[in-house]
């Protein structure tokens, strides 16, 4: 895992990201079916191939989860049957739209279709009650738009995308044989542009103080009276009383917008929502049209992914934990879990030491921060108990879309059944074969699926600087989310509670503002000067990265202390930082990069590397940076939070 230097590469003092990854960046092409490529994508590709082998080994006549996976995959791969069925499997849904006589009928139909996965103008999500975190609680979130963000509907920079979207919707209607396709497409855009006006921007949508608004469902229906809420919920199968409304202003304005629109206009919008929902399962012309807009136009992808890859995605989406159980059996060694537990324990101890040593925090706040840290839950590799699929039934003559509907309805019912009950603390929200990790503020838990516990992030055979600079920093990042600008508003039980002394939170906020200013100045390579990182949007992830790397270094020192070893040599510390750079190697198509700058709370890879290390004293020490180096920051300009 060592890094070879080259005279042609920048010095690490100027650009650690390209010093480590320069040769890879020069020689690696983004695959034609991908919008981006890097360390995460390489592992996802490997996981995908493993999942394919698992699925293709399943027998379709097995009366268990293996049979469900085999049949769903086979149905997706049977393109002849899909072409023969045409629109037959969604004709009834489209006819139900035609038959709706009132907006109340349409709201009821929308609720029923949402059980199948058709998106409405609000999204109902079952999660944890932010005031009573031992209980589940449903929440309403803004929805109703097809473009990546509300800004796409009004900003001049996205005029081309709007025109392409209109053309795409028109083409979808024409393929479906729907008359007046262009007129109906214009109606779809009118509806969505209206809903987009009431959406909040991506920065404010992160704000816990603005997105937690507990109320009752009858009060929602009374305050947003332009929509038939009871008929919608009844058709969805949701028994709603206590509920969180993420953005009350959106719900009220959205319901009024619904009430003002002619029913024929709303019908056009719902027809498109149906076509869009099922486009992946329809004949090739629909698949290609959806790909052309959502992947080629929005993300710059040249080629549709191989069908088997999309088939694996379908099984993952509908039967993911069944697939995950077999993935773990085949591909995850128990010894890796033991090593991860040691790494996590050292990271938690390092955070505790760091919090104890903070000079800017009062003792009262420090005590509460340590109390929260002590309550962190850790989940590694795979759940001890996960979703089973006895409720998913595929009839003997079921088509692909029949299977998708059956699975979607079972999943909806599974989620709705949780409402008002006790939170299942063993539940995972990622499958073991997912290459990612997460922190849940409401659960106060960090989760690391099996598929990310591989090189370059982790290896049982790797050196400590590599493992701590890789997965150690990822662990630290996820712990750090518990103390980022939003996670810091939750206590150790997952309850929204202000545990800060006023002066401490003011100092914390001042430090985060300094980090925001740094990232606002970063422009990804190849983009225009005005296409810069949004420091306010990315601040939570940037705090996680900065704390994650700094605390991982401290945790490595702790590991050496426990082993009776001296502090690491400078060469080993350099290897730690080199590994940090290595895990962020990545390339992104310009179209996708522009989209991510608008919607993604993560900074571009190069700044997740360089933007962090320039704030870490140890980086400057072991690489002997001096004023004038591109990554030099004066010591008083370096941001330290945790």
Residue 2, pLDDT score: 39
**Per-residue pLDDT tens over the stretch 182-205:** 999 999 999 999 999 999 999 999
Residues classed as catalytic: 478, 545
**Per-residue pLDDT tens over the stretch 523-537:** 999 999 999 999 999
- pLDDT band (50, 70, 90) for residue 489: very high
* b/e sequence 409-448, b meaning 16+ C-beta within 10 Å: bbbbeebbebbeeebeeeebebbbbbbebbbbbbbbbbbb
CA proximity to 294, closest of 170, 114, 122, 146: 146
Tell me the CATH number at 433. 3.40.390.10
Residue 356 resides in a domain: yes
- pLDDT band (50, 70, 90) for residue 3: very low
Residue 325 resides in a domain: no
Which run of H or E residues covers position 173? helix 159-175
Tell me the CATH number at 213. 1.10.1380.10
Do residues 357 and 213 both lie within one domain? no
Do residues 343 and 258 both lie within one domain? no
Residue 536 resides in a domain: yes
Residue 318 resides in a domain: no
The per-residue DSSP string of 427-496 comes to: --SS-TT-S--EEETTTTEEEEEGGGSSTTT--TTS-HHHHIIIIIHHHHHHHHHTTSTTGGGB-TTS-B
Do residues 482 and 542 both lie within one domain? yes
Domain range for 131 is 91-281
Do residues 442 and 350 both lie within one domain? yes
CA distance 19 to 11: 6
Do residues 528 and 618 both lie within one domain? yes
Residue 101 is classified by DSSP as -
Do residues 223 and 364 both lie within one domain? no
Which run of H or E residues covers position 123? strand 122-128
Do residues 156 and 225 both lie within one domain? yes
- pLDDT band (50, 70, 90) for residue 584: very high
Do residues 212 and 343 both lie within one domain? no
Do residues 274 and 354 both lie within one domain? no
The per-residue DSSP string of 201-240 comes to: PTTGGG-HHHH--EEEHHHHHHHTTTS-HHHHHHHHT---
Do residues 264 and 337 both lie within one domain? no
Residue 489 resides in a domain: yes
Pairing verdict, β 242-245 and 214-216: antiparallel
Do residues 492 and 346 both lie within one domain? yes
Q: Of 221, 255, 281, at which residue does a domain stop?
A: 281
Domain count along the chain: 2
Residue 32 resides in a domain: no
Residue 399 resides in a domain: no
Residue 1, pLDDT score: 37
Residue 7, pLDDT score: 53
Residue 432 resides in a domain: yes
Residue 8, pLDDT score: 84
Do residues 365 and 436 both lie within one domain? yes
132 has a pLDDT exceeding 60: yes
């Amino acid at each position: 895992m060592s890094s070879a230097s080259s005279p042609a590469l920048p010095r690490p003092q100027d650009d650690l990201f390209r010093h480590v990854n320069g040769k890879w960046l020069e020689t690696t092409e983004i695959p034609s079916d991908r919008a981006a490529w890097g360390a995460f994508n390489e592992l996802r590709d490997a996981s995908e191939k493993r999942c394919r082998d698992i699925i293709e080994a399943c027998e379709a006549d097995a009366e268990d989860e293996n049979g469900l996976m085999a049949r769903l995959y086979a149905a997706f791969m049977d393109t002849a049957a899909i072409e023969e069925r045409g629109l037959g499997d969604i004709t009834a849904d489209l006819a139900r739209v035609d038959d709706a006589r009132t907006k109340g009928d349409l709201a009821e139909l929308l609720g029923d279709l949402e059980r199948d996965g058709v998106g409405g103008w609000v999204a109902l999500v079952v999660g944890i009650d932010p005031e009573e975190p031992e209980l589940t609680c449903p929440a309403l979130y803004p929805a109703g738009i097809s473009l990546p963000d509300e800004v796409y509907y009004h900003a001049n920079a996205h005029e081309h995308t709007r025109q392409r979207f209109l053309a795409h919707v028109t083409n979808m209607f024409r393929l479906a044989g729907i008359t007046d396709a262009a007129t109906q497409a214009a109606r779809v855009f009118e509806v969505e542009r209206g809903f987009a006006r009431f959406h909040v921007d991506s920065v404010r949508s992160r704000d816990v103080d603005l997105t937690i608004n507990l109320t009752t469902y009858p009060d929602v229906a009374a305050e947003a009276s332009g929509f038939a809420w009871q008929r919608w919920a009844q058709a969805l199968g949701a028994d709603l009383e206590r509920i969180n409304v993420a953005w009350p202003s959106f719900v009220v304005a959205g319901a009024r917008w619904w009430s003002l629109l002619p029913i024929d206009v709303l019908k056009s919008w719902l027809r498109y929502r149906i076509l869009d929902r099922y486009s992946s399962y329809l004949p090739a012309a629909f698949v290609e049209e959806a790909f052309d807009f959502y992947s080629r136009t929005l993300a710059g992808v040249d080629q549709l992914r191989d069908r088997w890859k999309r088939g694996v995605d379908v099984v993952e989406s509908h039967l993911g934990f069944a697939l995950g159980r077999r993935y773990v059996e085949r591909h995850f060694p128990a010894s890796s879990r033991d090593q991860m537990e040691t790494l996590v324990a050292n990271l938690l101890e390092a955070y505790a030491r760091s919090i104890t040593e903070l000079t800017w925090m009062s003792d009262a706040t420090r005590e509460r921060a340590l109390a929260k840290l002590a309550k962190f839950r850790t989940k590694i590799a795979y759940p001890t108990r996960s979703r089973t699929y006895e409720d998913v039934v595929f009839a003997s003559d079921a088509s692909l879309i029949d299977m998708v509907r059956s699975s979607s309805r079972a999943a909806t019912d599974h989620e709705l059944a949780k409402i008002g009950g006790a939170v299942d603390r063993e539940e995972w929200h990622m499958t073991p074969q997912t290459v990612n990790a997460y922190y849940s503020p409401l659960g106060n838990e960090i989760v690391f699926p099996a598929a990310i516990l591989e090189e370059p992030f982790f290896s049982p055979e790797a050196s400590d600087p590599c493992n701590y600079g890789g997965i150690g920093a990822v662990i630290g990042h996820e712990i750090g989310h518990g103390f980022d600008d939003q996670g810091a508003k939750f206590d150790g039980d997952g309850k929204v509670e202000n545990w800060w002394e006023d002066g401490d939170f003011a100092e914390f906020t001042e430090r985060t503002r300094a980090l925001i200013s740094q990232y606002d100045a970063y422009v990804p390579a190849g983009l225009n000067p005005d296409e810069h990182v949004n420091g306010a949007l990315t601040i939570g992830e940037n705090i996680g990265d900065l704390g994650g790397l700094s605390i991982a270094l401290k945790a490595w020192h702790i590991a050496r202390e426990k082993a009776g070893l001296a502090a690491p040599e400078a060469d080993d510390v350099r290897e730690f930082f080199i590994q940090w750079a290595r895990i962020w190697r990545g390339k992104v198509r310009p179209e996708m990069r522009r989209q991510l700058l608008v919607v993604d709370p993560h900074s571009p890879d190069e700044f997740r590397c360089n933007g962090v290390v320039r704030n870490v004293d140890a980086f400057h020490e072991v690489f002997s940076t001096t004023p004038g180096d591109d990554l030099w920051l004066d010591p008083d300009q370096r941001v330290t939070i945790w």
